[in-house]
Structure 1
Amino acid sequence: MIESCSGIYRIKNLSDNKFYIGSAKNLKLRWFDHRKLLRKNAHFNFHLQRAWNLHGESSFEFECIEFCEFEKLIEREQNYLDKYYHLNVLYNLNPTACSQAGMLHNQDTKLKISTALKGRVVTDEHRLALSISWHKSDKCKKQNEEARKKASLSKLGKKESIETRVKKSIAHTGKKQKPHTEETKRKISETKRNKKNVNLIKGDIYAEPS
């Protein structure tokens, strides 16, 4: 059973014994996040994603290789990367441990990360995986929702010009409209019926007595 505590972990491919090294404040939650992205074919590590797609989920196992305090995660992760990176058994793209928990790097670590990333070519496949991962993230959804709210508020009280209406009409000309659902049809029918009743009432009110 995977513990909900901090430590160093590896995701091992049982088919060829290659593995991915990482660190996490919450091991159980981190494994959940990895599997979620891998199952959606949207993992940020395209080497690991490709192997997952090729061998299948059942060929991979998640295991904690060392429990350690939160403050020492990066230091201990770097120790394992230094030990295995040159052996060509890792899926890790970067030989330098990077924090994703808001931890600050010292100048020496920053220099190592900068050196490791220089000259690195990001493939179109990797860019696509990063893009898919971002658009499916909660942060992206939150930003989109905030943008929609701002756009909606900015339009309050504004009337479209005749020119804008004509442009919209032309843009929608010839486009196939999606068929209404039964629920939508029912609401439209009720709205029309209510309008008709209101008009009848108004007619009775303003009609001159015979």
Structure 2
Amino acid sequence: MFINNSPKFLLKSFSTEANDTFMGIVPVKTYHDPDKQKKDILLDVKNKTGVYMWKHKVNGKYYVGSAKDLRNRLLHYYNINHLTKRNSMLINRAILKDGAGAFNLHILEYCSPENLIQREQYYIDTLNPMYNILRVAASSKGYKHTDETLYKIKGDQNHFHGKTHTEENRTKMKEIKTGTKLSLDTKAKISQTMTGKVFSAEHKVNLSASKVNSIKLSVLNIATGVETNYSSVGEAERSLSLPKDAIRANLRSKTQKPYRGIYIFKQI
């Protein structure tokens, strides 16, 4: 329709007005209808490196990501097969469910490849995006963190350094991850059944290992260099807050590529 080509429509679609600011951050560009603006978006970000954010128009939740090749990365969000294969990511599930048109797409910043991970981490720390399962910016394929960046990600400059999640926060994170919400009555019953019970670390390991067909595995975090052994996939899932189906699929994979660019799984 002709109205879609009018100056008024274009001004609204590409605006960076006050309501497009987040914690004082003003995006480089905002697209209010990514479905219809696909061609413009891919043209604008061609041959560019930067950080982007998807924000749901209804629930207000958002996801922060980055890419050395923004065009290629954003193209994935229009590929149903890609979204389906990687539906362990909350943002992919949301786009599959509601469509890209249910979101605003914000280009937060264009930057150099060398500063990409550091800038993504800055926006994750500042905006605390609800669709991001991992709170540490992941490396792109073939990209290696500098010692300085690794220190900022792992050390006391990280906003979560030295902290642990409360039981309440763990419950909320599980609800977001699985898409289910426990009633107050159910939460109370779970709490009551566990009152006064203290399991030793050894007992927990024995319980996990006693499960039928349990798979023992080691997990190497290539960002930190730390390798941890787990008595089962379930234990790794709980410890790392990763979907167990994805862990199993990665263990079966012959390529053994790092999962999300960070984790290498090996059966032991």
Q: Please, what TM-score do these two structures have when normalized by structure 1?
A: 0.50
State the alpha-carbon separation in 2 of the partners of residues 6 and 63 from structure 1.
Answer: 14
Q: In the alignment, which residue of structure 2 is the partner of 1:123?
A: 243
Alpha-carbon shift at residue 40 of structure 1 (Å) = 4.7
Alpha-carbon shift at residue 17 of structure 1 (Å) = 1.9
Q: In the alignment, which residue of structure 1 is the partner of 2:76?
A: 33
Q: In the alignment, which residue of structure 2 is the partner of 1:16?
A: 59
Greater shift in the superposed pair: 76-85 or 38-47? 38-47
2:130 to 90, 100, 106: 90
Alpha-carbon shift at residue 96 of structure 1 (Å) = 1.0
Alpha-carbon shift at residue 73 of structure 1 (Å) = 0.6
1:138-153 correspondence to structure 2 within 5 Å: none
Q: In the alignment, which residue of structure 2 is the partner of 1:51?
A: 94
**Aligned residues between the structures:** 130
Structure 1 8/59 Cα, relative in aligned 2: closer, same or farther at 3 Å?
same
Q: In the alignment, which residue of structure 1 is the partner of 2:170?
A: none
User: Which runs of 4 or more aligned residues in structure 1 lie more than 4 Å from their structure 2 counterparts after TM superposition?
Assistant: 37-40, 112-115, 125-128
1:104 to 113, 124, 144: 144
Q: In the alignment, which residue of structure 1 is the partner of 2:49?
A: 6
Identical amino acids, percent of aligned pairs: 25
Structure 1 23/39 Cα, relative in aligned 2: closer, same or farther at 3 Å?
closer
Contact residue 6 and residue 26 of structure 1 kept, 8 A? yes
State the alpha-carbon separation in 2 of the partners of residues 26 and 103 from structure 1.
Answer: 12
Alpha-carbon shift at residue 102 of structure 1 (Å) = 2.0
Counterpart amino acid of residue 120 in structure 1: L
Matched, 1:62 2:102: no
Structure 1 127/83 Cα, relative in aligned 2: closer, same or farther at 3 Å?
same
Whose helix proportion is higher, 1 or 2?
1
Contact residue 37 and residue 43 of structure 1 kept, 8 A? no
Counterpart amino acid of residue 137 in structure 2: A
Structure 1 61/39 Cα, relative in aligned 2: closer, same or farther at 3 Å?
farther
Q: In the alignment, which residue of structure 1 is the partner of 2:118?
A: 75
Counterpart amino acid of residue 121 in structure 1: S
- The alignment partner of 2:240 has SS state of coil
Q: Please, what TM-score do these two structures have when normalized by structure 2?
A: 0.40
Can you list the C-alpha shifts for 1:78-101, whole angstroms capped at 9, x where unaligned?
11011022xxx4211111112114
Q: Runs of 5+ in structure 1 lacking a partner?
A: 140-210
Structure 1 44/8 Cα, relative in aligned 2: closer, same or farther at 3 Å?
same
Taking only aligned residues, the RMSD between alpha carbons, in angstroms, comes to 3.4
Whose strand proportion is higher, 1 or 2?
2
State the alpha-carbon separation in 2 of the partners of residues 31 and 91 from structure 1.
Answer: 16
- The alignment partner of 2:77 has SS state of helix
Contact residue 61 and residue 130 of structure 2 kept, 8 A? yes
1:186-205 correspondence to structure 2 within 5 Å: none
Structure 1 126/84 Cα, relative in aligned 2: closer, same or farther at 3 Å?
farther
Structure 1 80/59 Cα, relative in aligned 2: closer, same or farther at 3 Å?
same
